Each structure stands twice: as structure tokens, then as C-alpha cells.
Amino acid sequence: MHIVMRLKIVQAGDAVLRQRGKDLAASEIRSREIQNLIEWMRDTMHDAPGVGLAAPQIGLSLRLAVIEDKPENLKDLPAAYLKERERKPVPFQVLVNPKLTLQGPADVEFFEGCLSLAGFTAVVPRARKVRVEYLDHQGEPKIIEASGWYARILQHEIDHLDGAVYIDRMRTRTFMSVDNYNRFWKNTSSADLRKLIGWEG
């Protein structure tokens, strides 16, 4: 029987969010301690809710993250919105000691949020395609080739493992509360938003 465990998500200003996480050996990954942590991180991500959670976000400086973009996250979003963002469901995955390679410039710009900056959002440039070499939940080496929103999720979570958060990369003029985003900007296209806010693209 699985007992749901929700961990506390640390917020911006906590020093752990600015540290590079510690690598985990395959034997550590397979330990009961880390296996339990993976399950608890999954529970916490779902409860938040979010599409990714990195160990530094729950106060642990480890190179470990979980991601999942469930089909139900997408069911109420307009087709045009999903198409523009190339957003499709992503199955649950565990990433340990990931090595990220950008396959192109960071020139795709959309709003991002973060569980460690609760209540805020901003436009963040990201690469459209990435390659990630990592260890899975059993310490086995794997490779992901991702594009679109999947690639954005990977870049966001791996940034956390390197001590970075999206505000380090954001278009500063687009930083706003989620409430104001929903009130004023939610249905604005990227092209129109660029004109209205006047960031250089």
C-alpha cells in the first residue's frame, strides 16, 4: 500500500536553490532511501500541481528530478495553445545526474512558472530541442531526445540541479503575478505580447 507523502517546497531565497546538486551513484539511486524520496517527490509534484520537481526544491542538494505532464493537464487547453507550444503528454520519468545538450539556440519564448516562485510567471527563452543523458530510477543510463514543451520542462528542471531558476533567464519586462497573467495576458499570442511589452526578440 502506497502512503502519499507531500514534502515542503522551498521558495526563492533559500540557499539550496542556488547550489549545484550532488551526483548520485547507481547504488545510492537503488537504495530504499532514494526510492522512497522518488515516490514522495512524485506525490509532491502531483499535489502542487506541477509538471516537474527537482530535489533542491524540497531542500535536498542532489542531482535528482522527476517530471510528468499528464494528459489531463492538457484536456482543457485550446488546440492552438498546445500546437504553438508543441505540448503533448510526457510520461513519468526520473532523471538522475542529467547532462543537457541544447540542439539549437534558446530562441523559443513562452511563459514559465515555478513551484519555488509561487504566484509568479515570466517569459523565458529556451531551446526547442535538447538531448539529455541521465540515469533512471534504477541507475541505468538512458538518453532523451526531446522537443517543444517536453524540452522546456527538461531545461527548467536541470537548471534547478545547477543552482539556477527561471528568473535568471527570463525577459525581465514580462515578470508578473499569475493573477495578472490570467487577467490580462493569458490569451495573447507570443507575437502580440512581444509588441505590447516591448521586449527584444
What values do phi and psi take at 174, rounded to 5? -100, 0
- Tabulate helix, strand, coil % of the chain (nearest 5): 35, 25, 35
Based on the residue annotation, tell me whether 72 is a catalytic residue of this protein. Answer: no
Q: What angle do CA 128, 69, 89 make, to 5 degrees?
A: 75
Q: How far apart are CA 176 and CA 192, in angstroms?
A: 17
Closest CA to 134 of 84, 94, 173: 94
Compute the distance between CA of residue 155 and CA of residue 165 in angstroms, rounded to an integer: 10
Q: Burial code of 134-159, b = ≥16 C-beta within 10 A, e = fewer?
A: bbebebeebebebbbbbbbbbbbbbb
125 CB-near residues (< 8 Å, 6+ apart): 106, 107, 108, 109, 169, 171
Whole-angstrom Cα distance, residue 100 to residue 185?
Answer: 31
Catalytic residue among 86, 140, 157, 200: 157
> Which sequence positions are flagged as catalytic?
157
